[in-house]
Chain A
Amino acid sequence: MALKRRYRFLYLAIACIAGLAAIFVVDGYLGIYDTVYITTGEYEQKIEAYEWLREENFWSTSARWDEKVSFRYEIENHQFSTYSTRIEASVWKENERVIDLFAEDKSIEPFDKVTVEWTLSSEELESAGFGIDEYADYTIKINYGDVERKVIVNFYSPEEGSYPKPLPPRER
């Protein structure tokens, strides 16, 4: 008994260390997490929630002007209550909203997730009065709740990106 009494503060200190580890694990898991998947050409990029904690709060990608850019957006609710939010995606150019890509109210059950999808094509940008010379940057803003994610899409003209250049027709 005396031995146990002697070590009681050591046990309490060990319990605090265990509590610290438990907070790291549980707090790291609980919350709302979003993941953006961007497909340009044949390549898919996955941007997880922690990526936005970097100093630059945007993600950049490039796409050919004549190819569609597909977005898949996933929100996971790691909470004990239902999470309701409005998910919006829009295209911005020079701080002006030019196209609304997606807007929908979603309700996510506890420990469940929702996935929404939309695409951005050059036809939509052309119909909004935008074109491409060689390069053009557009900002895609994705919002849910108070959270805003920015993806900058750099479009390049098909002529710029086609390497190797197609050979001229052979003379006969």
Chain B
Amino acid sequence: MELRIRTYILYGIGIASCIAGVVYLTAEYVNYLSEPGKLGCLALAVGIFAFLGRYFEEIGW
């Protein structure tokens, strides 16, 4: 296997593991939040994806 592809695969596994870890910890911690807190988190999470989407769109991705 080409070295570059192997590196990309390893990067992919690393990034996926990090995201899975963060998602798991967040899901655990969200249990301790109040209902308004959960709603605020949901709104901000939507905001993160929307703004990142616009940013990547503007830089031409």
Complex partner residue of A10 from B36, B45, B55, CB under 8 angstroms: B55
B29 lies within 8 A of chain A by Cβ: yes
B32 near A53: Cβ-Cβ < 8 Å: yes
15 contacts between A and B (CB under 8 A): A6-B58, A9-B52, A9-B55, A9-B58, A10-B51, A12-B47, A17-B48, A20-B45, A20-B48, A23-B37, A23-B40, A23-B44, A24-B29, A24-B33, A27-B34
A27 near B33: Cβ-Cβ < 8 Å: yes
Q: Tell me the A115-170 residues at the B interface (CB within 8 Å).
A: none
* Secondary structure call for the A interface: helix
A170 and B58 CA atoms in complex are apart in Å by 94
* Chain A residues at the B interface, C-beta cutoff of 8 Å: 6-7, 9-10, 12-13, 16-17, 19-20, 23-24, 27-28, 30-31, 50, 53
A13 and B54 CA atoms in complex are apart in Å by 10
A31 near B54: Cβ-Cβ < 8 Å: no
A31 and B2 CA atoms in complex are apart in Å by 56
A28 near B32: Cβ-Cβ < 8 Å: yes
Q: How near does chain A come to B55, taking the closest CB pair, in angstroms? A: 4
> 1/0 per position for B23-57, CB-CB distance to A under 8 A?
00000010111101100110011011001101100
A6-B58, A9-B55, A13-B52 as given contacts; A23 in contact with B32, CB under 8 Å: no
A28 near B33: Cβ-Cβ < 8 Å: yes
**6 closest residue pairs by CB, A with B:** A27-B37, A13-B51, A9-B55, A16-B47, A9-B54, A12-B51
Q: How near does chain B come to A33, taking the closest CB pair, in angstroms? A: 11
B48 near A16: Cβ-Cβ < 8 Å: yes
Q: How near does chain A come to B23, taking the closest CB pair, in angstroms? A: 13
| Nearest-CB residue, chain B, relative to A5 | B58
Q: Which residues of B contact A20 (CB under 8 A)?
A: 41, 44-45, 48
